[in-house]
């Protein structure tokens, strides 16, 4: 007994400084708390703070002006100090079902919620996550009691670049034992993102598992590439080590990623049981990934039968490349009788800073008489929209 008491004291003293496994961390306040009436309470214990705020996309948006245009920025709410230095804010109205991100601002310092272990990295920002469920879409963001696919990280060799590069590959439930071949959807991230982006903010695994389990989407392999061609892997996952995360990477949107995309397709067809024909291949992505999908699919018109442009960064080339030359002529070839994709899908939020460019591109396709599906949603250049588009696009593939 005495031994245990001594051990406990020693352990507690040790953990006070080293916190091995955090066995004896301080009691946390409960935050966020989804209340019975679907209002949400945020709490932060900060006894010496003077001002505590919460900001997140659960609050009504405010407009901010930047050199790139007008953006929707999340609103800000004040927390009030109560007992024991615990600050608190409860939303005045119920919070609609959605996957939200938020941070606190304590005397000007932005922090994630220390009481909430669920955290997201979007480019170089960390946010806390709040999932309020209650509709069909948010149900697709959850890990439900359905058959699950498998997520792998696999490295391919880019002979073009002379480096090994990392891919995320989702294989649908049953892949390991079915012996079957599957269609492949290449799902691309935006600027500053990487091969992890669609898994985290995008909820791609959950969305695909649920859509497939409900019979809404065909079982498919989903390949999430790293579209930063100078980068081998997501920050911290490659030989570059724990590098600072930045959007300013070399060779961004200058044509190289598009040029050597067939290396990835070849690797996937060699490594997985794919249906290795155009009929069974889709490519889609958000923003820079939409731009990549547009350019890759028209550069290689015999490769993809389904193309998805989600808030695509149309007209944003940052270098000179053969890939970007003769855009209209290549589009004509892509939409020729021989090559025309079964689905060309354009989706954009009505306050996205890329809205006008997308309207111009849409008008061009209309003028040429090229068929496409158009989806417009509320809001701007945000993950909420990209999850909606994935959930809407995947069921249209390989039918």
Q: Is 213 in the site for ligand FER (CB under 6 A)?
A: no
CA gap 21, 239 in Å, rounded: 27
Closest CA to 137 of 311, 395, 387: 387
* Binding-site member from 142, 278, 316, 362 for ligand FER (CB under 6 A): 316
Give the single-character DSSP code of 330.
H
Report in angstroms how near the CB of residue 191 gets to ligand FER at its nearest. 3
CA 7 vs. chain centroid, Å, equals 46
Of 43 and 292, which has the nearer Cβ to ligand FER? 292
φ, ψ (nearest 5 deg) of residue 128: -85, 155
Contacts of 309 (CB under 8 A, 6+ apart): 284, 285, 290, 291, 293, 294, 345, 346, 347, 358
Instruction: Show the binding pattern over residues 90-129: x = contacts ligand FER (CB under 6 A), - = does not.
Output: ----------------------------------------
Of 54 and 197, which has the nearer Cβ to ligand FER? 197
Region binding ligand FER by CB under 6 A among candidate stretches 160-168, 172-180, 228-236, 312-320: 312-320
> Reduced to 3 states, what is the DSSP secondary structure of residue 283?
strand
Cβ atoms of 54 and 76 within 8 Å: the answer is yes
Of 153 and 316, which has the nearer Cβ to ligand FER? 316
Helix, strand, coil % over all residues of the chain, rounded to 5 = 30, 25, 45
Instruction: Show the binding pattern over residues 236-255: x = contacts ligand FER (CB under 6 A), - = does not.
Output: -----------------x--
Environment class of residue 383 by beta-carbon count within 10 Å: exposed (0-12), middle (13-18) or buried (19+)? buried
CA 346 vs. chain centroid, Å, equals 17
Closest CA to 208 of 167, 181, 171, 176: 171
Region binding ligand FER by CB under 6 A among candidate stretches 164-172, 178-186, 200-208, 311-319: 311-319
Of 304 and 310, which has the nearer Cβ to ligand FER? 310
Instruction: Show the binding pattern over residues 338-377: x = contacts ligand FER (CB under 6 A), - = does not.
Output: ----------------------------------------
Region binding ligand FER by CB under 6 A among candidate stretches 75-83, 232-240, 264-272, 310-318: 310-318
CA 54 vs. chain centroid, Å, equals 23
Report in angstroms how near the CB of residue 317 gets to ligand FER at its nearest. 8
CA gap 309, 334 in Å, rounded: 15
Q: Is 282 in the site for ligand FER (CB under 6 A)?
A: no
Q: Is 283 in the site for ligand FER (CB under 6 A)?
A: no
The site for ligand FER, by CB under 6 A, has a size of 8
Closest CA to 172 of 281, 273, 278, 310: 273
Report in angstroms how near the CB of residue 295 gets to ligand FER at its nearest. 13
Cβ atoms of 111 and 40 within 8 Å: the answer is no
* Binding-site member from 228, 231, 287, 358 for ligand FER (CB under 6 A): 287
Q: Is 288 in the site for ligand FER (CB under 6 A)?
A: yes
Residues near ligand FER (CB under 6 A) are 190-191, 253, 287-288, 313, 316, 318
């Amino acid at each position: 007994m005495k031994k245990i008491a001594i051990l406990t004291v020693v352990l507690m003293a040790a953990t006070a400084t080293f916190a091995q496994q955090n066995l004896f961390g301080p009691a946390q306040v409960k935050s966020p708390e989804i209340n019975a009436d679907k209002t949400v309470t945020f709490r932060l214990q900060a006894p010496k703070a003077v001002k505590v705020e919460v900001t997140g996309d659960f609050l009504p948006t405010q407009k901010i002006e930047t050199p790139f245009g007008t953006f929707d920025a999340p609103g800000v709410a004040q927390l009030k100090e109560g007992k024991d230095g615990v600050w608190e804010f409860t939303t005045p109205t119920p919070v609609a079902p959605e996957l939200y991100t938020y941070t606190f601002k304590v005397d000007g310092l932005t922090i994630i919620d220390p009481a909430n272990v669920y955290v997201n990295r979007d480019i170089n920002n960390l946010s806390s996550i709040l999932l309020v469920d209650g509709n069909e879409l948010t149900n697709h963001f959850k890990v439900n009691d359905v058959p699950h696919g498998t997520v792998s990280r696999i490295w391919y060799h880019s002979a073009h670049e002379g480096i090994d590069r990392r891919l995320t590959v989702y294989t649908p439930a049953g892949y390991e034992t079915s012996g079957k071949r599957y269609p492949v959807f290449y799902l691309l991230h935006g600027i500053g993102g990487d091969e992890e982006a669609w898994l985290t903010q995008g909820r791609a695994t959950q969305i695909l598992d649920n859509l497939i389990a409900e019979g809404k989407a065909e079982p498919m392999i989903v390949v999430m590439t790293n579209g930063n061609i100078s980068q081998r892997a997501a920050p911290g996952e490659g030989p570059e080590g724990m590098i600072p995360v930045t959007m300013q990477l070399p060779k961004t949107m200058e044509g190289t990623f598009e040029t050597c995309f067939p290396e990835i397709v070849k690797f996937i067809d060699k490594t997985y049981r794919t249906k290795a024909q155009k009929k069974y291949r889709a490519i889609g992505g958000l923003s820079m990934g939409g731009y990549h999908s547009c350019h890759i699919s028209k550069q290689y018109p015999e490769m993809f039968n389904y193309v998805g442009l989600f808030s695509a960064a149309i007209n944003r080339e940052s270098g000179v490349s053969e890939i970007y030359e003769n855009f209209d002529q290549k589009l004509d070839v892509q939409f020729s009788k021989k090559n025309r994709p079964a689905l060309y899908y354009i989706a954009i939020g009505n306050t996205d800073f890329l809205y006008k460019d997308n309207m111009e591109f849409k008008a061009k396709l209309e003028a040429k008489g090229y068929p496409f599906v158009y989806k417009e949603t509320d809001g701007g250049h945000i993950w909420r929209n990209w999850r909606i588009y994935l959930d809407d696009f995947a069921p249209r593939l390989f039918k």
